[in-house]
Every structure is written in structure tokens, then in C-alpha cells.
A and B are shown apart, each in its own frame.
Chain A
Amino acid sequence: MSAETAAATAKKDSLFSKKNRKLLIDPLDDSNPITVQVLGICSALAITVQLQQAVIMSLSVLFVMIGGNVIVSLLRNMIPDRIRIIVQLVVVASLVIIVDQVLKAFQPDISEKLSVFVGLIITNCIIMGRLEAFALGNKPGPSFLDAIGNAMGYAWILLAVSIIREVFGSGAISLPGMGQVKFLPAEWFMSEGGFYENNNLMILPPMALITVGVIIWIQRSRNQSLIEEN
């Protein structure tokens, strides 16, 4: 990957040099963790029924990602190569335990809905993938930026999918403090005697896959260089 080699030569650059900015911007589109690197799909699909869950999940991943990348990057010269996966897992698992306990304490409803998926951040491939590919070979500064970039790349796909699914599936977006925000006048809905019926298929798991598939389709027809062989 070009981003890694670029970062290796960027040692003397300031934190916001061109190369470092690339670390931050690239994962948003050209090397998006979900649609191009194919990492972290599991959680991305399962918790996109509601925007609220997706936001909490993105924030959790952002936290674990930054923590993990910086810690592993600081430890990178001390970790023996053979046991690096276990070391990484322990670092990530400890951070996830913190997230899980905080969620249970302050957002018990969301924590209930996310159920096992908070724990599954540990095995979220984005985190392990970036630790392996980036943090193990780079200084904490660039690793920090790489973490933010990749977590943002993950977050925007999550938010896009969850907005599409919630709007078409439930006909409304539930926002904290504002209740259900309907995107059509309430009397248009079938349940109120109108003509508009929600597409319940969007709430079911398979539609998450198809929505992401369509996002990939759009992204690649815009950015032809990402097209695969078969």
C-alpha cells in the first residue's frame, strides 16, 4: 500500500504535512476500510437498522481504534513478532471492555440493542488490520491520524447505510431528544389512513448487504480505478 511507504518517509514532516493529510483523507474514499479494503463488514452490517446505534458504534470504534493504534505503535519495538496477534488482541480487548462498561453505565438501552456487537469490536477486522498493517511499523503520530482516517471511513459508510435503512424501513429517524422525526407528513402513512407504506424489507438483515453493495457500485462507477478483475 502506498500510504504506508509514504508515511515511512514522512518522519521529519510536521503533523499536518501533505503525506499525513493523505493518511487522513485516503480512507474516506480511495482506500475505504469497508468498500475497498473489505475490513470490518460484520459490525457494519448488523447495527445499521437505526442511526442512533450506528452513531454509538462509530464512536466506540473511533475510540478503540485511536487507543489501539497509538498504544501498539508505542509498543511496536517491544512486541516480539511471534506473539504480536495476542498482544494486539489484549490491547484491543481491554479498550473494548472500557467501552462496554461505559455504555452499560450511561446508555443502557443502546447497549442492550447492540448486544454482542460491542464485544465484537475486538474482532473487528479494521482494528486488527490497521494495527498489523500500519501501527506496527509507524510512529504514534501518523498512527493516530491513520486511526482517525480509517474510523471516519468506517463511520460514514455506517451512517449512510443506517440513514437509508431507517428512513425507508421505519419512515422516520429517531434522534435523541427529538423523538421520531418523520420525513413525510404523518397523515400520509398507511397506519394513519394515508397511502405510504414503509418498506419493512429494509429493516431485515439481507437489505444491509444489498445497500452496501449498491454503495460500492456507486463508488466504483465514480472511481473507475477501483474496479476488480472478476
Chain B
Amino acid sequence: MEYLSIFVKGIFIENMIFAYFLGMCSYLAVSKTVKTANGLGLAVIFVLGITVPINYLLENYVLEEGALAWINPAYAEVDLSFLSFIMFIAVIASMVQLVEMIVEKFAPALYGALGIFLPLIAVNCSILGGALFMQDRQYPSIGEATIFGLGSGVGWWLAIVAIAAIREKIRYSHVPDPLKGLGITFIITGLMGIAFMSFMGIEI
């Protein structure tokens, strides 16, 4: 039940886009068609599902205060948490490189569609954000951290696919000229955010 609760919370209540605005840059740039949005969303789920548990291990066995005690009790005082940013980003950048190579090999069509945005997943705030929230919230086990990563990935995927579907339709509407493109996307995302706030307080 604990797992389900974290999962649902990650998707709806603490949605990466609507509650924290993480990964907005690629969210806005790649949401013109549902197909590419879907691809990028799946890539984000995958990368979050891998990097959050790896960073969890890193945090709990290397970086945290006293985390090094498992090597030698003499290291119990060592606190490397100031290094966490650079370690997290290194893990993320290398994992993204790996995902990029896998996608290039097995799904060249998707690779062509996503173009330059795959390398940019490395600087997608939602990935580093996932790692930092995991550090902040102190999940008790690696299972919960993984579920949190997957849940927020699914939330991000849901958000980008939804906005892409809306943007495909809105092309046929009469939006005021200055609001076309970026402006209307911002406002719609705001309205979707208000809608998502109705999930607040749900407990499973």
C-alpha cells in the first residue's frame, strides 16, 4: 500500500510539471505532436526509474553523513553531502548517454524524431529534481525510491502527452496572434495545473 501511495502521489499530487515545474523546457519544446511527446515521456520514465535508485544507493552508502561507516567505522564522521550535486549529475549524464546509445541502436525512427532532445534529457530538470527530492524526502528503502522515480516519470509523461494532444487540436482554433504558441501553452498548462490540484489530499 505504501508503494501504491507513493506512486499515485508522484503522478497526480506531486506532479513534476504541475506542482514543481520541473522539466518545463523540454515540455514546452517537444510538445508539438503527441508522437514525439510520447517518446520523450517514455525516455524520461526510463531514465528516472534508473537514476533515482542509483542515486539513492550513492546517497546512502557514500555521500550522507556517516554513510561511509560500512567501509570502516573510522569514516563515520565523514560528510560528503556537499558533493551530491556533482555526483548526481555525473550519474545522470552517463545514464543518459547509455539510453541514447540504446535508442539509437534499437529504435532509429524514434531517435530521428527526438533528435537533439535525447542528450538534453541530461539537463532536463525533472531528472536531477527527482534525485534531489529523493535526497530531501529521505525514503526509507530503495524500493520506495524507485517507485517514487517511476511515479514522477509517469506523471511527467502524462503531462507532456496531454499538452501535446491539446496543442494538436488548438492549431485549428482562433487564438489571439500574440498568444499563439508559447503564450497559450503556458496558460493551458496553468489551467491543467489548477485541475490537477483537485487531487490534493488524496490518500491511499
| A and B: interacting chains | yes
Interface residues of B in 79-134 (CB under 8 A from A): 82-86, 88-90, 93, 119-120, 122-125, 127-129, 132-133
Residues of B near A35 (CB, < 8 A) are 182
- Within the complex, the shortest CB–CB distance from A135 to chain B, in Å, comes to 15
Which residue in chain B gives the minimum CB-CB distance to A37? B25
The answer to whether A175 has its CB under 8 Å from any CB of chain B is no
Contacts A205-B20, A209-B21, A227-B178 aside, 20 further interface pairs with beta carbons under 8 A come to A45-B21, A85-B119, A93-B85, A97-B83, A97-B85, A97-B86, A101-B82, A116-B132, A120-B128, A123-B123, A123-B125, A205-B21, A205-B193, A206-B191, A206-B193, A210-B191, A213-B187, A216-B179, A230-B170, A230-B180
| B176 on interface, CB distance cutoff 8 Å | yes
B29 within 8 A of A: yes
Q: Identify the 10 closest CB pairs spanning chains A and B, nearest first.
A: A228-B181, A206-B193, A213-B186, A220-B178, A209-B190, A41-B24, A210-B190, A116-B132, A213-B187, A221-B178
Interface assignment of B162: CB less than 8 Å from any CB of chain A: no
Q: A125 to B187, Cβ gap below 8 A?
A: no
B178 touches A120 (CB 8 A): no
21 contacts between A and B (CB under 8 A): A38-B25, A39-B25, A40-B25, A41-B21, A41-B25, A42-B125, A46-B20, A85-B122, A90-B89, A93-B85, A100-B85, A119-B132, A122-B89, A123-B123, A206-B189, A209-B21, A209-B186, A213-B187, A219-B178, A220-B177, A220-B178
Cα distance A101–B136 in the bound complex, in angstroms: 16
Q: With A89-B93, A216-B186, A229-B180 given, is the CB distance from A125 to B25 under 8 Å?
A: yes
Establish whether residues A205 and B186, one from each chain, have CB atoms under 8 Å apart when the complex forms. no
- CB pair A38 B29 closer than 8 Å: yes
**Contact partner, A93, options B86, B119, B181, B194, Cβ 8 Å:** B86
Contact call A208/B180, Cβ cutoff below 8 A: no
Q: How many A-B residue pairs have CB under 8 A?
A: 154
When chains A and B are docked, how far (Å) is the Cα of A93 from the Cα of B123?
12
Smallest distance from the beta carbon of A72 to chain B beta carbons, Å? 14
* A116 and B186 alpha carbons, distance in the complex (Å): 23
Query: Taking beta carbons and an 8 Å cutoff, which residues of A are in contact with B?
Result: 35, 38-43, 45-46, 85-86, 89-90, 93-94, 96-97, 100-101, 115-116, 119-120, 122-125, 128, 204-210, 212-214, 216-221, 224, 227-230
Give the number of residues in B that approach A within 8 Å (Cβ atoms): 52
Give A216's nearest chain B residue, CB to CB: B183
Which positions 1-20 of chain B face chain A at CB distance < 8 Å?
18-20
In the assembled complex, the CB of B92 is this many whole angstroms from the nearest CB of chain A, namely 9
A42 to B124, CA, bound (A): 9
Given contacts A38-B29, A40-B25, A116-B132, contact A213 B123 (CB under 8 A): no
- Given A39-B25, A124-B125, A128-B123, A119 and B190 contact (CB-CB distance below 8 Å): no
Q: How far is the CA of A148 from the CA of B98 in the complex (A)?
A: 35
- Specify which chain A residues have a CB less than 8 angstroms from the CB of B182 in the assembled complex: 35, 38, 216, 228
Q: Chain A nearest CB: distance from B6 CB in Å? A: 17
Given contacts A35-B182, A120-B129, A213-B183, contact A206 B194 (CB under 8 A): yes
Q: Given that A89-B122, A90-B86, A116-B132 are contacting pairs, would A227 and B190 also be in contact in the complex, using a CB cutoff of 8 Å?
A: no
The smallest beta-carbon distance between B178 and chain A, in angstroms, is 4
Alpha-carbon distance A124/B23, docked complex (angstroms)? 9
Q: Shortest Cβ distance from B34 into chain A, in angstroms?
A: 15
- Contact A230–B181 (Cβ < 8 Å): yes
Q: Are the CB atoms of A45 and B24 closer together than 8 Å? A: yes
Min distance, Cβ A126 to any Cβ of chain B, angstroms:
9
How far apart are A228's CB and chain B's nearest CB, in angstroms? 3
On chain A, the residues within 8 Å of B25 by CB distance are: 38-42, 125
Query: Pick the contact of B178 from A40, A128, A217 — CB < 8 Å?
Result: A217
A208 to B185, CA, bound (A): 13
B166 is an interface residue with CB less than 8 A from chain A: no
Taking a contact as CB atoms under 8 Å apart, the answer to whether B136 and A115 are in contact is yes
- A192 → B minimal CB distance (Å): 28
